[in-house]
Structure 1
Amino acid sequence: MIRFVIVLALVLSTTQCIAEVTQLSPERISLWNGNAPNGDGTFEKDDAWLTLHRPEKPNGIAVVICPGGGYGGLVTGPEGHGIAKWLNQHGITGLVLEYRLPKGRPYVPLLDAQRAIQTARANGKQWKINPEKIGIMGFSAGGHLASTAVTHFDHGRQESKNPIERQTSRPDFAILVYPVITMDQSTHGGSRRNLLGENPTDELINLFSNEKQVTKQSSPTFLAHALDDTVVTSSNSQAFYKALQSHDVPTEFLELPSGGHGLNGYQGPMWDAWQMQSLQWLTTLME
């Protein structure tokens, strides 16, 4: 279903419609213990980090949050920890992912996102998370990473002695806000250069053009995008939405009439609209 918002002044902020829920102290967790894979059989002395934001009364749903930044930086404030605190107000556990920047190594962020999902599943009982209700959310280039997790995943290595590695890396759902989706000509140029390098092969471009990688096993997805976004055009979300529809994957696309990239600086009726409607969609999906 595509929803086109015409009058958003009447939409109340979701944070104004619910009493504030006390949050537990955040916890920052290493994903690789300083020995991170590059995706080509080599490793580096680096790490990715997951900050666990837990509500006082969790409802079992958890979301790995991928901030944007064009794959050249991380907007961890408004597109990370701020989102986790908002989710906590609705009983949802937020996990802010500080993924490694690719620098032309396209598998690096994906490995981090997959590891984050697997880590959440492996710690489900301890963190009061339902392992079948773990999703991923992303903004801009972080939206590309989240959509990559939706279309590129495995079901874990059952023979591994490591309980994290035994978990599936498939997200149970995804919420993508003004995401980069394709690596074709309509992509965000900076994100593509940072992820794939200066002269990527056609094979690599195709592999990370996620509208071309959708299957019937891809995760149910909610998308939100402003029609006047000139940084990352809404055709990205439109292409992913159509691909999901064509494979009968549950999906919803909220087209916003204005707000540009970042939706007026992460505030106002456009920002409130995607938050409210994504929560409605997620509640129905998780029933």
Structure 2
Amino acid sequence: MPETTSFTASLKNGTTAPSPTVTPYIPEKPGFGGISLIIFPGGGYGKLADHEGHGLAEFFCAEGIACFVVEYRLGVDGFHHPAMIEDAYAAIATVRASAREFGIDPRRIGVIGSSAGGHLAAHASVAWDTYESDVSLRPDFTILCYPVVYMDGDFCHEGTRTNLLGENPSDEQLSATSVVEHVNDKAPPTFIWHTVGDEAVAVENSIGYATALRVNGVPFEMHIYQRGGHGLSRKTELAWTTDLFRWLREFADGRLMLAK
């Protein structure tokens, strides 16, 4: 499939018929050992922020990384959980099944998400064994940009929760989508960044997810910057992409390890 020619993804036995639109960005000269990124834009499950989707894809593609931007279903269109996670897994399954066609390594497919997209990326990283697929649904690595991970309590982003679960979610729904509760030792290696100055999604979301990874022995790297608001992506002078590229090279070279 040529660059930026969108396609529809599918998931085996999807209970809500997932069919997200995925737009590929395939570099002319692949780098980083054939790794690729499936991108979930942010927007509080109410919209899809272009600079956190196609904007990131263009940036990473220019660096030799194949990217796939997912247009997943949204709460404002009347969809709620599990529609979003099924769309995420549909994208992962379809990209992995088509890895040879895209010229990527099926064992080096990562997910990256920002804000609510970070929630979706994290959710895909901890619930992959709850769905059937002919190929693995587990992301090989995860990148979280100022993610939402709590669906209840002081650090929950209420707008994201409402769009994901509706006005009156049950305790079971809250627990199922509070992804920090579901981290185990099978979660993928993870890169996280956030700012203390984020007044929309509290930095405690990232700290909580990193703590869960640490407890379960999962390799991770986290960068917390003092200043900066929400939704920055690449609209910032913060050096998160510099550190991320180093981390991705370490992943591609098999050098990601827990600190001793």
Question: TM-score, structure 2 length as denominator?
Answer: 0.90
**Structure 1 counterpart of 2:61, one-letter code:** N
Deviation digits for residues 89-148 of structure 1 (CA, Å, limit 9, x no counterpart): 221101000001144621111011111111111111111110000000000100000000
Correspondent of 1:81 among 54, 59, 71: 54
Q: Distance in 2 between matches of 1:206 and 1:156?
A: 18
Indicate the residue corresponding to 1:25 in structure 2.
3
Correspondent of 1:276 among 231, 234, 242: 242
Q: Distance in 2 between matches of 1:107 and 1:155?
A: 12
Q: Secondary structure at the match of 2:135?
A: coil
For residues 134-153 of structure 1, the aligned pairs below 5 Å read 134-153=109-128
Q: Secondary structure at the match of 2:249?
A: helix
Deviation digits for residues 36-62 of structure 1 (CA, Å, limit 9, x no counterpart): 8996x454xx83110000000113111
Correspondent of 1:71 among 39, 45, 49: 45
Alignment partner of 1:175 is 2:175: no
Using a 3 Å threshold, how does the CA distance of structure 1 residues 64 and 241 change in structure 2: closer, same or farther?
same
Which ranges of structure 1 fall in alignment gaps of 5 or more residues? 1-23, 158-164
Q: Secondary structure at the match of 1:27?
A: coil
Q: Secondary structure at the match of 1:68?
A: coil
Q: Distance in 1 between matches of 2:37 and 2:205?
A: 22
| Count of residues paired in the alignment | 247
Q: Distance in 1 between matches of 2:170 and 2:147?
A: 22
Q: Secondary structure at the match of 1:115?
A: helix
Q: Distance in 2 between matches of 1:154 and 1:138?
A: 20
Alignment partner of 1:61 is 2:35: yes
Indicate the residue corresponding to 1:90 in structure 2.
63
Checking the alignment, whether the CA contact within 8 Å between 1:225 and 1:254 is kept in structure 2 is: yes
Indicate the residue corresponding to 2:205 in structure 1.
236
Alignment partner of 1:267 is 2:235: yes
Q: Distance in 2 between matches of 1:195 and 1:268?
A: 28
Which one has the largest radius of gyration?
1
Correspondent of 2:215 among 199, 223, 246: 246
Q: Secondary structure at the match of 1:255?
A: strand
Checking the alignment, whether the CA contact within 8 Å between 1:155 and 1:169 is kept in structure 2 is: no
Checking the alignment, whether the CA contact within 8 Å between 1:139 and 1:177 is kept in structure 2 is: yes
Q: Distance in 2 between matches of 1:104 and 1:212?
A: 23
Checking the alignment, whether the CA contact within 8 Å between 2:19 and 2:90 is kept in structure 1 is: no
Q: Distance in 2 between matches of 1:42 and 1:173?
A: 26
Which ranges of structure 2 fall in alignment gaps of 5 or more residues? 254-260
Alignment partner of 1:127 is 2:93: no
Q: Distance in 1 between matches of 2:191 and 2:213?
A: 10
Identical-pair percentage:
40
Indicate the residue corresponding to 1:47 in structure 2.
19
Correspondent of 2:134 among 144, 153, 166: 166
Cα-Cα RMSD: 2.0
Checking the alignment, whether the CA contact within 8 Å between 2:38 and 2:112 is kept in structure 1 is: yes
Q: Distance in 2 between matches of 1:49 and 1:131?
A: 20
Q: Distance in 2 between matches of 1:119 and 1:215?
A: 25
Q: Cα offset for 1:156?
A: 7.0
Q: Which runs of 4+ in 1 moved over 4 A?
A: 36-39
Q: Secondary structure at the match of 1:269?
A: coil
Deviation digits for residues 7-59 of structure 1 (CA, Å, limit 9, x no counterpart): xxxxxxxxxxxxxxxxx631201114xxx8996x454xx83110000000113
Question: TM-score, structure 1 length as denominator?
Answer: 0.81
